[in-house]
Chains A and B, each alone.
Chain A
């Protein structure tokens, strides 16, 4: 039967359009119940004996949640206890329309076989389809459609002794359903009566009535404007739209990034609880600028919201006042207030419970691990078990008369401080996709046993006879590069870089490819690796292990002995690596003059060329920067770190690096020549001169001059910067210089004009050499393969907008993986110091702040802050000179690069944010420094600065 659906829509141009869709009704949509004898269905989803232990519905029944129940209570619905659920198409469509994340979870739930969820396409069922009536709103129509479907179901299954229960939180809907003599309950009513599973109650999102009783009637926040007003305000320019970024250090301060036209974007400062107006980190908000005379500048005060649960009457007034006074000193930045929320970006947050001091209370405050997220009020009966655990909580809403947002408990991750738990937390907090690969993804893997087929050989060059070897860090299982070097008959050298041919296995557009594109990169944590591609590929088929035949993408140069490239050739190939070496092993072979085998000779050749290449590169102005990387020696049984040392660099490290750079540059040039519009490249923008201020000031204090006009000038002046008797000075300078740099990013050549790579002093650069662990390299492989005619292209590869979107994701994933990596190192450092007690170490002042110095301990590559003021007692007199910069504490003045001695210990007073505590022991300042170890440092507030 044909019906048509008509609706009127406003077009983007401001016109009004009438849209008519054909809508077909059918009579062959089955009910999905096992008990049903009427429907001619082949397979059923819902059980005949659908029983759940319940006081309310002791009889077998199916539940039908309405849209709002699904949207708000998905956490409960997802629980395995709740089965035999009917999801109506009306509900599915509405959920899809209103929340993409919930829709995805709902779809996952429907797909999970053991959940027994049946989707009933009531909108196409002849007897349950209804048309919108005159004067009926869209919501009312949908509610009615749900009731009609439930009615149909209950009559349909009556003979089979099954009931159908409608779950709704909408009072009006409930009453109407009761009029139609349907079985209907409120969702919390239903869940509270599930006798076997009292823990589900905690996960209930607060419904509106509940919220009303918690909060005082006092209105704390200004009302948010409705969306229509916000939109017209943004159009007329009264409001600005931007992403809300809360400050990490000050809970009363935030910035809103407003994307302007083109590259222009501004930052609006928001200060004070009222002006922040319930915005949460990452929300898209509308801001109204305050009049210019109310503009302030960001305060440099660190404020943490760590008092006990505040009873909504704001005693923050004083804190705010303090904030204003300090802020009023300098000239103001654009300051505004939040007038409305355009899009909430709430996700479940990790954190810990602060148990309420009132006994028997079920309401508690939850402190998220991310300091930018406000504390959340949740209701739980299992507070005593949740204490000391890392838990996840979702926000349900933030009424205008509540100091904190309301939320509910989602799940527990495990005890705080345990390695597994902390790892899970840092992956979740850095948005690293770390679930196991789905079956769908794994289905695209090659079938084992895998071997090279004759078809593979047709298009490939057979390089199995070459003496190829790989050099990697110890314990590396995902080997994506191998090298060879041999002398040609004409006296020139042939050098080959062979990269794992991942794009042979990962075909564009399939689930495996999409998953890899989403993950973007492999994330290396201490002692753990989160793969971008399934292990079969990363550690086996793509890994260029020794003495097995592997597919490769080779870049082969003919060079003379001065390392000048005479010829470049790219080809898909088959190789057979003769040895997988570590850096140290390779170094030993090169140094051992007795060895004369092919591999060693090849390595020597490579090493010789690499040295020339490096020299040339440095002459061109490439920077050698420094950052301390640490390596943990991990106990093989407990997996706890037992020792820690800074990574050592050997000649062979730089040898491999040189050839990788060369390959990347060659490939970048090739794909850019071939595809000027859609080559995926990597650039490193030159930093703005102001970034160097701190470096220049620091150098000046030691009477060393640094030139920053160009990369070359910087490199040269860093090379000559030396201070007698201070051998570590140069490294420190380089560490500082690293901090001045910009982030290197991927981009699509058609969308940008500046290609320069500042750090490498190369006009063009890309990533080609690690396709196992970086998705960008896979794209580059595909581009190169198309360029040399080894593979076919596909539309998305040539679409610069899609590529640009991909680049954005890759850049985001890279950034997050770096943060996760650092967080993992920090956590392991803490574990390490936990077992060490208090240590006394030598370090250098790296930065000077208003109320603290930041100290670097070279031995551990550890950076920490020594605070000189404290909240509870009068601090020493502090004089900060911005020009130096120097900080005078009592009589002692601290400069950058000063050598100090500090005690290091683990401060686990706050289990959620364990931190390394540093306290000064030398120079001795009475009342500030502490005596050498074994003495508990005084109450300072140090923290690790990552």
Chain B
């Protein structure tokens, strides 16, 4: 993970600020930085979204391909994650520098998103045991300025919302041979329900308090953080502790409660924004990466 050097004096300043619920950039402990979301940014994917959070920027593209269902769950499709830590984001990622982080991120994302409570995996199945849709979720880190998990999860949710899977049906003949048939109307496609897709809220323990959406400097002052996946109803679907330090049960409880609260509040405006963008259709002004 990208690191910044923070001097002792700075640390104390940050710590004291947080204690008083006033962070360096003027936010309170449960505030996010300015967030931008734009969907349908990469035309050759089936769904894509770009999210920037402060100076953190991520791009998510989703490609739907036909594959074989996993043997244990023959009637479900599945998701695959790949996180590319581009050297654009930070020079440390150059060469194979970002590989470890990438694997860690994608494993976590897999745990958070690939379950039937988040996404209707059964709906991705085309014919049990034979064909299903596999959603390849590719995450590209464009810029790192802390709180990658949250930014990525919002981008994934937006991209899933934007995903259009071509409608197919199975044709079968008398001999029992089956074949995937494609509709010839490019507008004829299936949308995913993202209602239950969680967002990740990362809480950083700084001093005796915890903050959401920590900047790199705040991160440097923290010994441990808790990542919590929360649905729009406030259900926690996944909790994971990262970082070297320890957390006592009480603060875990507190942090979880805070995470639920923040997460719930995050979903509503996000969905509103996505729907608004969608309703504009072709009239929407594209911002893209240079905007």
Contact for B168 among A9, A16, A237, CB less than 8 A: A16
Binary flags per residue of A211-246, CB closer than 8 Å to B gives 1, else 0 = 000000000000000001100110111100000000
Contact for B179 among A7, A14, A237, CB less than 8 A: A14
Contact for A18 among B166, B168, B171, CB less than 8 A: B166
Chain B residues, Cβ within 8 Å of A236: 173-175, 177
A4 touching B43 in the complex, CB below 8 Å, given contacts A16-B168, A16-B180, A232-B177: yes
Chain A residues, Cβ within 8 Å of B46: 18
Chain A residues, Cβ within 8 Å of B43: 4, 6, 20
Contact for A238 among B44, B174, B181, CB less than 8 A: B174
Chain A residues, Cβ within 8 Å of B45: 18
Stretch at the interface among B95-103, B184-192, B220-228, B262-270: B184-192
Contact B66 A137, beta carbon cutoff 8 Å: no
Q: Output the least CB separation between A133 and chain B (Å).
A: 8
A232 touching B173 in the complex, CB below 8 Å, given contacts A14-B179, A18-B166, A132-B186: yes
Interface residues of A, dominant DSSP: mixed
Contact B173 A16, beta carbon cutoff 8 Å: no
Closest to B172 in A: A232
Contact for A135 among B63, B65, B66, B187, CB less than 8 A: B187
Q: Output the least CB separation between B67 and chain A (Å).
A: 8
Task: State in angstroms the CA–CA spacing of A676 and B229 once bound together.
Answer: 67
B2 part of interface (Cβ distance < 8 Å) = no
A15 part of interface (Cβ distance < 8 Å) = yes
Chain B residues, Cβ within 8 Å of A19: 44
A14 touching B180 in the complex, CB below 8 Å, given contacts A232-B171, A237-B175: yes
A638 part of interface (Cβ distance < 8 Å) = no
Task: State in angstroms the CA–CA spacing of A237 and B166 once bound together.
Answer: 29
Binary flags per residue of B52-68, CB closer than 8 Å to A gives 1, else 0 = 00000000000111100
Task: State in angstroms the CA–CA spacing of A7 and B174 once bound together.
Answer: 31
Binary flags per residue of B65-81, CB closer than 8 Å to A gives 1, else 0 = 11000000000000000
Q: A interface, how many residues as a size bin?
A: 20 to 34
Contact A10 B182, beta carbon cutoff 8 Å: yes
Chain A residues, Cβ within 8 Å of B44: 18-20
Contact B65 A15, beta carbon cutoff 8 Å: yes
Task: State in angstroms the CA–CA spacing of A136 and B175 once bound together.
Answer: 34
Contact for B186 among A8, A15, A232, A237, CB less than 8 A: A8
CB-contacts of A8-35 with B (<8 A): 8-10, 14-16, 18-20
Contact A135 B185, beta carbon cutoff 8 Å: yes
Chain B residues, Cβ within 8 Å of A452: none
Task: State in angstroms the CA–CA spacing of A10 and B185 once bound together.
Answer: 13
Closest to A17 in B: B65
A10 touching B173 in the complex, CB below 8 Å, given contacts A15-B65, A16-B168: no
Binary flags per residue of A474-499, CB closer than 8 Å to B gives 1, else 0 = 00000000000000000000000000
A232 touching B185 in the complex, CB below 8 Å, given contacts A15-B65, A16-B65, A20-B43: no
Binary flags per residue of B172-214, CB closer than 8 Å to A gives 1, else 0 = 0111010111101111000000000000000000000000000
Task: State in angstroms the CA–CA spacing of A6 and B173 once bound together.
Answer: 31
Q: Output the least CB separation between B181 and chain A (Å).
A: 8
Chain B residues, Cβ within 8 Å of A112: none
Q: Output the least CB separation between A802 and chain B (Å).
A: 33
Contact A14 B66, beta carbon cutoff 8 Å: yes
Contact for B182 among A4, A8, A132, CB less than 8 A: A8
Chain A residues, Cβ within 8 Å of B63: 18
CB-contacts of A754-789 with B (<8 A): none
Chain A residues, Cβ within 8 Å of B182: 8-10, 16
Task: State in angstroms the CA–CA spacing of A19 and B180 once bound together.
Answer: 18
Q: B interface, how many residues as a size bin?
A: 20 to 34
A690 part of interface (Cβ distance < 8 Å) = no
Contact for A8 among B166, B171, B177, B179, CB less than 8 A: B166
A134 part of interface (Cβ distance < 8 Å) = yes
Chain A residues, Cβ within 8 Å of B179: 14, 232, 235
Closest to B168 in A: A16
Closest to A131 in B: B282
Task: State in angstroms the CA–CA spacing of A802 and B45 once bound together.
Answer: 37
Closest to B180 in A: A14
Chain A residues, Cβ within 8 Å of B173: 229, 232-233, 236, 238
CB-contacts of B152-182 with A (<8 A): 166, 168, 171, 173-175, 177, 179-182
Contact A15 B66, beta carbon cutoff 8 Å: yes
Q: Output the least CB separation between A129 and chain B (Å).
A: 14
Contact A138 B184, beta carbon cutoff 8 Å: yes
Contact for A137 among B65, B168, B185, CB less than 8 A: B185
Q: Output the least CB separation between A936 and chain B (Å).
A: 62
Chain B residues, Cβ within 8 Å of A14: 66, 179-180
Task: State in angstroms the CA–CA spacing of A228 and B172 once bound together.
Answer: 11
Contact for B187 among A20, A134, A233, CB less than 8 A: A134
Closest to B175 in A: A236
Task: State in angstroms the CA–CA spacing of A103 and B15 once bound together.
Answer: 77
Task: State in angstroms the CA–CA spacing of A138 and B186 once bound together.
Answer: 10
Residue among B173, B180, B181 with the highest chain A CB neighbour number at 10 A: B173
Closest to B65 in A: A15
Chain B residues, Cβ within 8 Å of A9: 182
Binary flags per residue of B40-52, CB closer than 8 Å to A gives 1, else 0 = 0001111000000
Chain B residues, Cβ within 8 Å of A229: 173
Chain A residues, Cβ within 8 Å of B184: 137-138
Q: Output the least CB separation between B186 and chain A (Å).
A: 5
Chain A residues, Cβ within 8 Å of B185: 135-137
Q: Output the least CB separation between B38 and chain A (Å).
A: 17
Task: State in angstroms the CA–CA spacing of A8 and B64 once bound together.
Answer: 11
Closest to B187 in A: A134
Chain B residues, Cβ within 8 Å of A228: 171, 181
Task: State in angstroms the CA–CA spacing of A591 and B110 once bound together.
Answer: 98
Chain A residues, Cβ within 8 Å of B168: 16
Task: State in angstroms the CA–CA spacing of A134 and B66 once bound together.
Answer: 24
Closest to B45 in A: A18
Chain B residues, Cβ within 8 Å of A232: 171, 173, 177, 179
Closest to A7 in B: B186
Q: Output the least CB separation between A367 and chain B (Å).
A: 41
Contact A235 B177, beta carbon cutoff 8 Å: yes
Chain A residues, Cβ within 8 Å of B180: 10, 14, 16
Contact A16 B177, beta carbon cutoff 8 Å: no
Closest to B177 in A: A236
Q: Output the least CB separation between A128 and chain B (Å).
A: 19
Chain B residues, Cβ within 8 Å of A233: 173
Chain B residues, Cβ within 8 Å of A16: 64-66, 166, 168, 180, 182
Q: Output the least CB separation between A794 and chain B (Å).
A: 37
Closest to A134 in B: B187
Task: State in angstroms the CA–CA spacing of A6 and B40 once bound together.
Answer: 13
Q: Output the least CB separation between A86 and chain B (Å).
A: 28
Closest to A20 in B: B44
Task: State in angstroms the CA–CA spacing of A765 and B182 once bound together.
Answer: 52
Closest to B189 in A: A8
Chain B residues, Cβ within 8 Å of A238: 173-175
Task: State in angstroms the CA–CA spacing of A138 and B182 once bound together.
Answer: 14
Closest to B44 in A: A20
Q: Output the least CB separation between B176 and chain A (Å).
A: 8
Chain B residues, Cβ within 8 Å of A137: 184-185
Closest to A10 in B: B182
Task: State in angstroms the CA–CA spacing of A555 and B180 once bound together.
Answer: 61
CB-contacts of A95-139 with B (<8 A): 132-138
Q: Give the A-binding residues of B (Cβ under 8 A).
A: 43-46, 63-66, 166, 168, 171, 173-175, 177, 179-182, 184-187
Q: Which 8 A-B pairs have the closest CB atoms?
A: A236-B175, A20-B44, A134-B187, A232-B173, A8-B166, A236-B177, A20-B43, A10-B182
Q: Give the B-binding residues of A (Cβ under 8 A).
A: 4, 6-10, 14-16, 18-20, 132-138, 228-229, 232-233, 235-238
Provide a sorted-by-A list of 10 A–B residue pairs whose CB atoms are within 8 angstroms.
A8-B166, A10-B182, A16-B65, A132-B187, A133-B187, A134-B187, A135-B187, A136-B185, A232-B177, A235-B177
5 more A-B contacts (CB under 8 A) besides A16-B66, A18-B45, A238-B173? A14-B179, A133-B187, A137-B185, A232-B171, A233-B173
